[in-house]
Chains A and B, each alone.
Chain A
Amino acid sequence: MMSQLIFLLLLSTGIFFFVRRIRFIQKNIRLGRDVDLSDQKAKRWKTMARVALGQGKMTARPVAGIMHIVIYVGFVIINLEMLEILLDGLLGTHRIFAEPLGPVYDVLIGSFEWLAAGVILSCVVFFIRRNGMAIARLRSRELAGWPSLDANIILVVEVLLMFAFLSMNATDGIAQLRGLPHYVNAGSFPVSQWLMPLYAGFSDTGLVAVERGMWWFHIAGVLAFLVYVPYSKHFHIILAFPNTYFSDLTPAGAMNNMESVTREVKLMMDPSADPYATPAESAEPPAPFGAKDATDLTWKQLMESYSCTECGRCTSECPANQTGKLLSPRKIMMDTRDRIEEIGKARDANGGQWESDGKSLLGHYITEEELWACTSCQACVQACPINISPMGIILDMRRSLIMEDSKSPESITSMFNNIENNGAPWAFPAESRGDWTQDV
């Protein structure tokens, strides 16, 4: 009874902190501008099924892709075991599914074990790739400090959790052989049998202690991880799904139209419009053009920043980054998340009201130099395994630079002037546009 109470306490504490954090993130994402993505539901479900559920873009890089799929499948399937652990914990039972499932239970436990072994292997390889090999995208400067530590914590915790799961089975298996009370004959242990020699010398009491210890470590570890995940890049395991559901379904080359500008242009071109008309009293102040701060981005873009797992495929495909420019699309996403986190914290500290802190995403996190290095080639969008568009944020920030601050490299200003004056980005007279037809 006591252990059931402790279990319940542990479980509710884990869920409480998880939910509190999710609410915070949800509030932050809602700070973004509105965008209507409620259309094309069938296509959205399909995209989510293919890209997130089906891991459709992962194997573009086969080594990392296949091992990621092993961890992903392992995670999803081994979580079925969590259901049993939950019920056992709450009801004070032991292996509650063993009896009703019969032989199926053995197959299930056996397959969980193989997957656990696969997860451990993949995590070890990932750890070596990240820390022992010179893989450029895993060594970029934006990963220094917390992002790198975060990645390693995730890998180590996953290995520990899987080890606990296998040890729990190994000791349980020995206990079954010894015919200890409560240990029903159930499960098959294709992988954990190799761990059994490790625990074979233990006394009955010692064995039960290890088995119970591993059981508690596993569930406590999982709950701690549950709370950790939304503070971490690992949050992609949840957000990848909504993020791909709300994918941009227009061709990658298409850039969104700014309705606010369309209204202005129409007004300018309408001969009957009164340019001096005062706006109605009730009119809301016009929203700034483009994105200067994280709150100027859409909620979808903010969701993307929380979905990013910092794999760096975008950065390694970016032509600007490859040629040594400052721009790293991954850093754009990380900066966006860091900034909206900062804003969210300041808002909560100020009783729920966000007051400007004089800082902004553009300027304090992202520099103009980074923005101007983008060739808008969409390689980052193509590379992202969950359809994030760093390019969208870059271009929205250019809009703010130009339309709010009139800041552009001199040559870009000349290009604008040329288009305005002679309808071409170069200084050629518009009248000569058709001249080439004269000597065909």
Chain B
Amino acid sequence: MFETDEPKMTSFHIPTMAEMTANGNTPEVLFWVGCAGSFDDRAKRITKAIAKILNAAGTSFAVLGQEESCSGDPAKRAGNEFLYQMQAAQNIAILNGYGINRIITGCPHCFNVLKNEYPELGGNYEVQHHTQFIRELIEQGKLRMADGGVFKGKKITFHDPCYLGRGNGEYLAPREVIASLDAELIEMRRCKQNGLCCGAGGAQMFKEAEKGTAEVNHARTEDVLESKAEIVATGCPFCNTMMTDGVKHANKEGEIIVKDVAELIAEAADLL
């Protein structure tokens, strides 16, 4: 479980909405991948894990592919409402054009914007974060963990993404999903409502931090070390990057692994 190689090549096809529509089909859900999940090499592994989970659970899904564009979150949080609304208008036109009703996202920033901010601009969908959807799949018995429990007894802590936790009050779904791993879920000193940010939100991901005495992700890594967790579970590609860097900075790369909840599940269900 400590190797970081690419997921195994298993063959299944991920259709785009354009393909599906051309074939006269409608998927159950649209998987909104997000920019990090589409382009960032590390985050792509999370994306693939989510896709494998959906596939294994028999969920009929599609992606937008080239038709997906940035949700506009970093532009809006950085103050560029114009750019945000242009992005939103474009995305909503496409989503509404395909008659999308249900969306799952691999990123809490996209999740928040699509769920809370698109409705005012005419985009009304049932939006779920991937941990919420995975919880449903487990509850419905559509997704089973493999025997042998690769995470049995492992100490896992969940780092709450701000826009899933405080932003939308979802603290339980990722924890319930982790609970299915038969691992030991431990909490950091600051968690849930009081969780410390990874430092990437509000468009910080795209700029240098302001002058200070420490980096936010290093401070958060201190919380991880204090908790004695062996695995930091994340639910956001940005948190994942920040925590991976933080663990590296603390020279704990060999001891603490940072993985998205979806990756842990995909691994436990022997999908990778």
Chain A residues close to B by CB (< 8 Å): 60, 250-255, 257-258, 261-262, 264-266, 268-269, 289-290, 317, 319-320, 322-327, 369, 372-379, 381-382, 395, 397-403, 408-409, 411-412, 414-416, 419-420, 423-426, 428, 430-437, 439-440
Number of contacts between A and B (CB, 8 Å)? Answer: 225
Docked pose: A409 CA to B78 CA in angstroms: 10
Please classify the interface of chain A as helix (H, G, I), strand (E, B), loop, or mixed, using the class held by over half of its residues: helix
| A369:B201 contact, CB within 8 angstroms | no
Residue of A whose beta carbon sits closest to that of B41: A436
> Chain B contacts of A414 at CB under 8 A?
206
Which of B8-16, B96-104, B131-139, B144-152 contacts the other chain? B8-16
Could you mark each residue 177-221 of chain B with 1 if its beta carbon is under 8 Å from any beta carbon of chain A, else 0? 000000000000000011011011111111111111111101100
> Chain A contacts of B121 at CB under 8 A?
257, 262
| A433:B65 contact, CB within 8 angstroms | yes
Docked pose: A378 CA to B108 CA in angstroms: 14
Docked pose: A419 CA to B263 CA in angstroms: 28
Q: If the complex has contacts A320-B212, A437-B63, are A424 and B79 also in contact, measured as CB distance less than 8 A?
A: no
Say which size band chain B's interface belongs to.
Answer: 35 or more
Residue of A whose beta carbon sits closest to that of B109: A253
> Chain A contacts of B219 at CB under 8 A?
319, 322-323
Docked pose: A420 CA to B86 CA in angstroms: 9
Docked pose: A333 CA to B115 CA in angstroms: 29
> Chain A contacts of B167 at CB under 8 A?
251-254, 378
Q: A319-B216, A434-B16 are in contact. List 5 more A-B contacts (CB 8 A).
A: A319-B219, A325-B212, A379-B197, A382-B194, A416-B78
| A403:B81 contact, CB within 8 angstroms | yes
A373 CB to closest chain B CB (Å) equals 4
Q: B166: CB under 8 A from chain A?
A: yes
Q: If the complex has contacts A265-B86, A319-B197, A416-B83, are A440 and B52 also in contact, measured as CB distance less than 8 A?
A: yes
| B214:A412 contact, CB within 8 angstroms | no
| B202:A409 contact, CB within 8 angstroms | no
Nearest 7 CB-CB pairs, A to B?
Answer: A253-B167, A324-B213, A376-B202, A398-B79, A434-B65, A423-B69, A377-B197
Chain B residues close to A by CB (< 8 Å): 6-7, 9-10, 12-14, 16, 33, 35, 37-40, 44, 47-48, 51-52, 63, 65-66, 68-70, 72, 74-83, 85-87, 89, 112, 116-117, 120-121, 162-163, 166-169, 193-194, 196-197, 199-216, 218-219
> Chain B contacts of A373 at CB under 8 A?
209-210, 212
Docked pose: A257 CA to B51 CA in angstroms: 32
Docked pose: A244 CA to B98 CA in angstroms: 41
Q: If the complex has contacts A265-B89, A424-B35, are A375 and B162 also in contact, measured as CB distance less than 8 A?
A: yes
| A264:B117 contact, CB within 8 angstroms | no
Residue of B whose beta carbon sits closest to that of A408: B78
B14 CB to closest chain A CB (Å) equals 4
> Chain B contacts of A375 at CB under 8 A?
162, 197, 199-202, 204, 216
| B206:A254 contact, CB within 8 angstroms | no
> Chain A contacts of B117 at CB under 8 A?
254-255, 257
Q: If the complex has contacts A261-B85, A323-B219, are A416 and B75 also in contact, measured as CB distance less than 8 A?
A: yes
| A382:B196 contact, CB within 8 angstroms | no
| A323:B85 contact, CB within 8 angstroms | no
Q: If the complex has contacts A377-B197, A416-B75, are A323 and B213 also in contact, measured as CB distance less than 8 A?
A: yes
Docked pose: A388 CA to B218 CA in angstroms: 28
